[in-house]
């Protein structure tokens, strides 16, 4: 995959006299020329307000927006285009489900079940649903390696109305048994919500095969620009839900005191749409599909294995969760004995290596495993084995610079 690096202008950037090594892809990804060009082409040649005018630019913007929706439908194999709702990001998608589905249906005595490792977007949202409805938020605490236990799975019972989980955890990088969790939710009479923010960018996702009721992801984590995400929902569920945001384009008729709503997907897309974001996502999907999902998975697994093998040789490094590369996408979170994660990230930055430090938006999990903060490296299509080796060469210097004599 080396030759694709040429497509990413930012990868030529020098930092502290080193070529930038970007290992913070779980936070956001870099953009290839093809995506940048698609945005520029829209703004230079086709910019209009979609679905609102008879003139050429509105018609062209509408066509590009609709084509992007169809590309997303195919990407995740949704049955109908109406099931694809463009939102700002995964976070907004989860808020939409919480407000429009959960808050109006749940009641005291009901349960929402989530893993303790969830991103705040898939946790704080449910806390409010519980506060508003009286339902209970129940956690699956996982075992020491981040896997589900029988005790966890038994929490999905007949009182459960929603099971929500990341298909790939942004802290553990572990791929979750999505089909099994969805099946358990359905057997209990609950719906299954899949946070696919770290899954759709890295693997072939098929919502019909998973049979999930809702799924969300963000364009910026898969080479597209920030500000465009996707909510997938089964058509029947979306049709039964009240819109989350009210305003232009989501209406059918507005009278002085009452309004009827537009059909799907427009019912959930109030206000002027982010056409450049949708166009960028379309270009990103085309780009990733050209590489191929099997190639992407194999590439990330190779980098992850190489990195884990190197890290395991350092006794003061502790990897969070499973260390089996087959169980993971390209995300490795870790702590370094005696070194604050922020110091580690700052020292590595001095060598031009960008890694994450902090709580990774998963504070309850950090508290649960007694690692409030940690470091994280995360790979994507443009990263190389040479970059991993460079990181492994510099990693021991972190402890040296902090005064340890290893
Ligand atoms: N869920 C997971 C698993 C994530 O990794 C992230 C982003 N770190 C989100 C949700 C939220 O994504 P966004 O900020 O794009 O809404």
Contact in structure between 111 and 251 (CB atoms under 8 Å): no
What is the position in ligand 1's atom list of the atom closest to the CA of 121? 10
Q: Which domain holds residue 234?
A: 35-289
54 with 83, same domain: the answer is yes
Q: Which residues of the chain have pLDDT under 50?
A: none
Q: What are phi and psi of 238, to 5 degrees?
A: -65, -40
Give, for 307, the enclosing helix (H) or strand (E). Answer: helix 293-312
Q: How many CB atoms lie within 10 A of CB 343?
A: 16
Q: What pLDDT sits at residue 16? A: 87
134 with 258, same domain: the answer is yes
Nearest CA to ligand 1 atom 5: 170
* Pairing state between β 160-166 and 111-115: parallel
Nearest CA to ligand 1 atom 12: 90
Q: What pLDDT sits at residue 81? A: 98
Nearest CA to ligand 1 atom 4: 197
Q: In whole angstroms, what is the distance from residue 287 CA to residue 105 CA?
A: 40
Distance from residue 232's CA to the centre of ligand 1 (Å): 15
Q: 267-298: per-residue pLDDT in tens?
A: 999 999 999 999 999 999 999 999 999 999 99
Q: What are phi and psi of 121, to 5 degrees?
A: -60, -30
* Pairing state between β 136-140 and 14-15: unpaired
* CATH code where residue 117 lies: 3.40.640.10
Distance from residue 169's CA to the centre of ligand 1 (Å): 10
Active-site positions read 361
Ligand 1 binding pocket, CB closer than 6 Å: 26, 89-91, 119, 121-122, 166, 170, 195, 197-198, 218, 361
316 with 222, same domain: the answer is no
Q: In whole angstroms, what is the distance from residue 301 CA to residue 307 CA?
A: 10
* CATH code where residue 398 lies: 3.90.1150.10
What is the position in ligand 1's atom list of the atom closest to the CA of 92? 16
Q: In whole angstroms, what is the distance from residue 211 CA to residue 77 CA?
A: 11
Q: What pLDDT sits at residue 357? A: 95
User: At which residue do the structure tokens 């093998």 appear?
Assistant: 309
Q: In whole angstroms, what is the distance from residue 235 CA to residue 81 CA?
A: 9
CA distances (Å), origin 173, targets 53, 84, 129, 244, 281? 45, 26, 27, 31, 23
**Is the residue at 28 inside a domain?**
no
User: At which residue do the structure tokens 């390696």 appear?
Assistant: 145
Q: What pLDDT sits at residue 52? A: 78
348 with 200, same domain: the answer is no
Q: In whole angstroms, what is the distance from residue 269 CA to residue 224 CA?
A: 19
Alpha helices in 115-206 (DSSP H): 124-133, 150-154, 178-187
101 with 166, same domain: the answer is yes
Tokens, residue 107: 């009641």
Q: How many domains does the structure of the chain reveal? A: 2
Q: 224-263: per-residue pLDDT in tens?
A: 999 999 999 999 999 999 999 999 889 999 999 999 999 9
CA distances (Å), origin 76, targets 45, 191, 286? 29, 19, 13
Q: How many CA atoms lie within 13 A of 138 on its CB side?
A: 19
Q: What pLDDT sits at residue 2? A: 60
285 with 300, same domain: the answer is no
Distance from residue 219's CA to the centre of ligand 1 (Å): 10
Q: What pLDDT sits at residue 118? A: 97
Give the pTM.
0.97
């Amino acid at each position: 995959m080396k030759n694709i690096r040429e497509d990413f202008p930012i990868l030529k950037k020098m930092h502290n006299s080193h070529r930038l090594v970007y290992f913070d892809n779980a936070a956001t990804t870099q953009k290839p020329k093809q995506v940048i060009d698609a945005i520029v082409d829209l703004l230079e040649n086709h910019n209009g307000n979609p679905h609102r005018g008879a003139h050429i630019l509105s018609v062209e913007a509408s066509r590009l927006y609709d084509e992007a929706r169809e590309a997303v439908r195919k990407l995740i194999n949704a049955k109908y285009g109406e099931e694809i709702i463009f939102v700002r990001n995964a976070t907004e998608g989860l808020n939409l489900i919480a407000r429009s589905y959960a808050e109006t249906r749940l009641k005291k005595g009901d349960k929402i079940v989530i893993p303790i490792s969830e991103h705040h977007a898939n946790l704080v949202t449910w806390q409010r649903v519980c506060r508003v409805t009286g339902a209970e938020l129940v956690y699956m605490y996982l075992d020491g390696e981040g896997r589900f236990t029988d005790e966890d799975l038994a929490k999905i019972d007949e009182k459960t109305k929603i099971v929500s989980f990341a298909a790939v955890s942004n802290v553990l990088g572990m791929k979750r048994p999505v089909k099994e969790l969805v099946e358990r939710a359905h057997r209990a009479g609950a719906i299954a919500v899949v946070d696919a923010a770290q899954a759709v960018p890295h693997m072939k996702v098929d919502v019909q095969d998973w049979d999930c009721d809702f799924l969300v992801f963000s364009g910026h984590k898969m080479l597209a620009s920030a500000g465009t995400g996707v909510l997938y929902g089964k058509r029947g569920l979306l049709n039964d839900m009240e819109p989350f945001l009210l305003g232009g384009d989501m209406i059918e008729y507005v009278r002085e005191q009452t309004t009827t709503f537009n059909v799907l997907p427009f019912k959930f897309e109030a206000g002027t749409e982010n056409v450049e974001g949708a166009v960028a996502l379309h270009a990103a999907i085309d780009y990733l599909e050209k590489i191929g999902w099997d190639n992407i998975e194999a590439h990330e697994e190779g980098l992850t294995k190489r990195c884990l093998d190197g890290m395991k040789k350092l006794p003061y490094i502790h990897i969070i969760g499973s260390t089996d590369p087959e169980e993971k996408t390209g995300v490795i979170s870790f702590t370094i004995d005696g070194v604050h994660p922020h110091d580690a990230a700052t020292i590595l930055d001095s060598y031009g290596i960008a890694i994450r430090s902090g709580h990774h938006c998963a504070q309850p999990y950090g508290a649960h495993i007694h690692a409030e903060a940690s470091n994280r490296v995360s790979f994507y299509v443009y990263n190389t084995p040479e970059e991993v080796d460079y990181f492994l060469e510099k990693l021991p210097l972190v402890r040296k610079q902090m005064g340890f004599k290893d």
